[in-house]
A and B are shown apart, each in its own frame.
Chain A
Amino acid sequence: MRLVVNGVEQEIEAATIAAALKALDYENARVATALNGEFVPKRAREATPLKEGDRIEIVAPRQGG
């Protein structure tokens, strides 16, 4: 399935956000996720299905002012 992950189109076989994180090797990383602009809490990742063309944002701590 074609997904847009952090702005980059990728072909990933994943039915849920949790599966996508695993497929992309983020499984143990401290990250937060959003799907099509909406926050998806960690506890909801398993139950959040993906469909063709979905936009996923995966963010982590970074320097800030």
Chain B
Amino acid sequence: MSDFALYGVVLRSRLMLGTSQYPSPAILAHAARASGAEILTVSLRRESARLKEGQDFWRLIRDIGARVLPNTAACYSVKEAVTTAQMAREVFNTSWIKLEVIGEADTLQPDVFGLVEAARILSDDGFEVFPYTTEDLVVAERLLEAGCKVLMPWGAPIGSGKGLNNVFALRALRVHFRDTPLIVDAGVGLPSHAAAAMELGYDGVLLNTAVAKAGDPVAMARAFGQAIEAGRAAYLAGPMEPRDMAAPSTPVVGKAVLT
């Protein structure tokens, strides 16, 4: 599979995997390796002085060896998201941030106004921002103006597993932003959804729940890795144009007359 780059980092795998909700740390580690993902998303949460769970988790992530993309999950304001990003930069020693500014709790829909504002503040402060956004083309323009060099539109609401809810708009984004890496982030439930995103020409897919909540997360991680490779290969191969009516694939000329 062809290499691509996010903020100058060359990657082979086009799958970015979340690290949450796995049955166990060991299964997370196996699934991450089976997926082939080179980027794992992580978060920051309050650390208990007694349990120090975060220290164990960090050792596990380091052992897996992938690059981390910290998020600002569950931040509902620009200030919360910016402060979380600043803390993440120090803890994870990376300027990468998956920027989430959530606007509504039931859909976890991005607050695109806050998102653009936070993206500008963070980009100006030297962050390399991966904005979790909607499929809105004008918002995408504003995010690029704010300094983002990657866009991550949702497929469907986080954790819903619905796939690509608005293929038309996702396709329009791809056509409009030819040179910007586009990642479908959120809502992917099946490998076929991921393959569909790649067939549209998307550069990658970010997912979590579909692997973590599978009956066999390791096998599902592998399946997603394969689907993303297949989808990318199909995009590069140039899919046929669909049509409304049938067109015989077997030649009509030369058919024996048997009546």
A residues lining the B interface (CB < 8 Å): 6-7, 24-26, 29-34, 37-39, 41-42, 57-65
* In contact, B19 and A60 (Cβ under 8 angstroms): no
Bound CA span A65–B43, Å: 8
Residues of B contacting A62 in the complex (Cβ-Cβ under 8 angstroms) = 42-45, 53-54, 57
Q: Which of A24, A38, A42, A60 contacts B44 (CB 8 A)?
A: A60
* In contact, B43 and A64 (Cβ under 8 angstroms): yes
Binds A, one of B85-93, B195-203, B227-235, B251-259: B85-93
* In contact, A30 and B83 (Cβ under 8 angstroms): no
B residues lining the A interface (CB < 8 Å): 18-22, 28, 41-49, 52-55, 57-58, 61, 70-71, 73, 79, 83, 86-88, 90-92, 158-159, 208-209
A31 and B47 contact, Cβ closer than 8 Å, known pairs A60-B52, A64-B73, A65-B41: yes
If A57-B46, A62-B53 are given as contacts, then 14 extra A-B residue pairs at C-beta distance below 8 Å, sorted by A number, are A6-B46, A25-B49, A29-B55, A32-B91, A33-B87, A38-B83, A39-B83, A41-B86, A58-B47, A58-B49, A60-B45, A62-B43, A64-B41, A65-B18
* In contact, B20 and A64 (Cβ under 8 angstroms): yes
- Of B54, B58, B86, chain A has the most CB atoms within 10 Å of the CB of B54
A24 and B73 contact, Cβ closer than 8 Å, known pairs A39-B87, A62-B43, A63-B21: no
Bound CA span A60–B52, Å: 8
Residue of B nearest to A33 (CB): B87
* In contact, B49 and A32 (Cβ under 8 angstroms): no
- List 15 A-B pairs, Cβ < 8 Å: A6-B47, A6-B48, A26-B47, A30-B54, A30-B58, A30-B91, A32-B87, A34-B87, A59-B46, A59-B47, A60-B54, A60-B58, A62-B54, A64-B71, A65-B73
Residues of B contacting A25 in the complex (Cβ-Cβ under 8 angstroms) = 49
* In contact, A59 and B208 (Cβ under 8 angstroms): no
Bound CA span A32–B47, Å: 10
* Minimum distance in angstroms from B177 CB to a CB of chain A: 24
* In contact, A63 and B47 (Cβ under 8 angstroms): no
Q: Which of B44, B71, B79 contacts A37 (CB 8 A)?
A: B79
- Of A31, A42, A64, chain B has the most CB atoms within 10 Å of the CB of A64
* In contact, B79 and A7 (Cβ under 8 angstroms): no
Q: Which of A24, A59, A65 contacts B91 (CB 8 A)?
A: A59
Residues of B contacting A41 in the complex (Cβ-Cβ under 8 angstroms) = 86, 90
Bound CA span A31–B51, Å: 13
